[in-house]
Chain A
Amino acid sequence: MNIVYLIAAMALVTYIPRMLPMVLLKNVSLPAYIRRFMGFIPYAALGALIFPGVLTSAGTGGIESAVAGALLAAVLAWFEFNLILVVLGGIAGTFLMNMMLI
C-alpha cells in the first residue's frame, strides 16, 4: 500500500509543472521578448533532449548502433520524409547495426 502513495506523489509532482502554466497563463498576454523566448523553446528542448542522450539509447547495442540509427533518421528527416518513416528508419538503422554487433 505504501508504494501506492509514492506513485501518487510522483504523479502529483509530474502533473503540477504541466498544469500550472497551462491554466494560469490563460488570457495573459506576454511581452514580445518572452514570446520570442517561448518560440525558441521547441528547438532548444529538442537539441537538449537529443544530445547526448541519443548516444546511450541503444542499450547493449552501444554507441555505434545508436549513431547508425540517428544518422539514418537524420538523412530521412533532411529529405522531409513522413515522421513515421523517420522513426522506422531510425529503428531499422540501429537494428541492422545491432545484428552485426550483438
Chain B
Amino acid sequence: MTKSSAHKFWGGIKAGLPVAIGYIPIAIAFGLLSKALGIPNYISALMSLIIYAGASQFIGVNLLVAGASFGEIIIATFLLNLRHFLMTGTLSQRLEENVSGPWRALLAFGVTDETFSISALNKEETLSKHFILGLNTIAFAAWNAGTWLGLFVATGLPEVVKASMGIALYAMFIGLLVPHIKKEKPALVVSVLAVFINSASYYLSIMFGFSGGWGIIIATVASAAIGAHIFAKGGEQA
C-alpha cells in the first residue's frame, strides 16, 4: 500500500470504531444465545465468519432450534438480506473509479447496515476502496471477536448488563441519522416516511401472520422513491 492508501485504510478503521463498539455486545449476545440453544460452538463461530449478518444469524439459530426446514431457513435469510442489494447498489455509484471486479467482490462481503450507513453518510463524494476496506475490517474483526467472547467468556454476565447491550446498534443508527434530519428537510421527510411504512407493515404482519422480512425493504424502497419524486430538485446530495 502507498502512503495515502494506508492513510485511507486507517481512516476507515477510525470511522468503523463506533460500529465495532456496537458489534461486540451484539455478537456476544449471539454467542450466548447460540450456546444456550445448544448449537455447537464451531457452527456459531463459522456463522459469524462466513455469513456475517447479525439478524440472519439470530434468526437462523432460532429457526434451527425451532425445527424449521433448511429450505425455510435459507429463504428467510435471503429475504432478510435482500435490503443489502439496495445498499451495495448505492455504494457502487459512490466508489472511486477503476476499482476492479475482485476488489468490488471483496468490499461487498463487508457491507452491513452499519458499515453501509457509515460509508453512505461519509462527507466525501467518492469513496476510496481502502477506506471501505478499513471500515469493513474492523467491523468484521469486532463481530467475530464478540462471537468468541459470547461463546467462551461471557456466560457469567449479569442479566442487567446483557439487557443493556442491544441498544448499541440502534444508538448508532440514531447517531448517524439525527444530525442529517436536523439540517436536511428531504432526509427528515424520507426517514419519517420509512418509520411509518415499516411500522405499518410490522403491525400488519403480526395481525395477518405474514413474514415480517419484507417490511424494511418495502419501507426503504417506497420512502426513497417518494422522496425522489417530491424532492425533484435539490435532493441530489447524499
Contacts and interface: CB of A to CB of B under 8 A. Distances in A.
Contacts of A50: 170, 173-174, 177, 195
Contacts, number: 312
B141 interface: no
Majority-rule SS of B interface residues: helix
Contacts of A70: 167, 170-171, 174
A9 to B, nearest CB: 5
Given A19-B88, A74-B178, A41 B52 contact: no
Given A13-B74, A14-B77, A90-B168, A26 B83 contact: no
Nearest to B197: A48
Interface string B207-238: 00000000110011101110110011001111
B93 interface: yes
A74 B191 contact: no
Interface in B139-190: 159-182, 186-187, 190
A8 B92 CA distance: 25
A90 B43 CA distance: 31
A46 B191 contact: yes
Interface in A62-95: 65-66, 69-70, 73-74, 76-78, 80-81, 83-84, 86-91, 93-95
A8 B74 CA distance: 10
Contacts of A91: 25, 164-165, 167-168, 171
Contact of A39 (B104, B168, B235): B235
A52 B198 contact: yes
A48 B109 contact: no
Contacts of A19: 88, 104-105, 108-109
Given A6-B74, A9-B74, A53-B170, A23 B108 contact: yes
Interface residues of B, number: 101
Give the interface residue-count category, chain A.
35 or more
Contact of B101 (A23, A46, A52, A59): A23
Nearest to A92: B164
Contact of A42 (B92, B121, B169, B179): B121
A74 B174 contact: yes
Contacts of A24: 92
A17 to B, nearest CB: 4
Task: Report which residue of B90, B107, B221 has the largest number of chain A beta carbons within 10 angstroms of its beta carbon.
Answer: B90
A90 B133 CA distance: 27
A26 B85 contact: no
21 contacts: A4-B43, A7-B43, A13-B77, A13-B81, A35-B93, A39-B90, A40-B227, A41-B86, A41-B120, A42-B90, A42-B120, A43-B186, A54-B170, A57-B166, A58-B164, A61-B164, A76-B175, A80-B179, A83-B18, A98-B163, A102-B160
Interface of A: 3-11, 13-15, 17-28, 30, 32-33, 35-54, 57-61, 65-66, 69-70, 73-74, 76-78, 80-81, 83-84, 86-91, 93-95, 98-99, 102
Shortest 3 CB-CB contacts between residues of A and residues of B: A90-B171, A47-B194, A86-B175
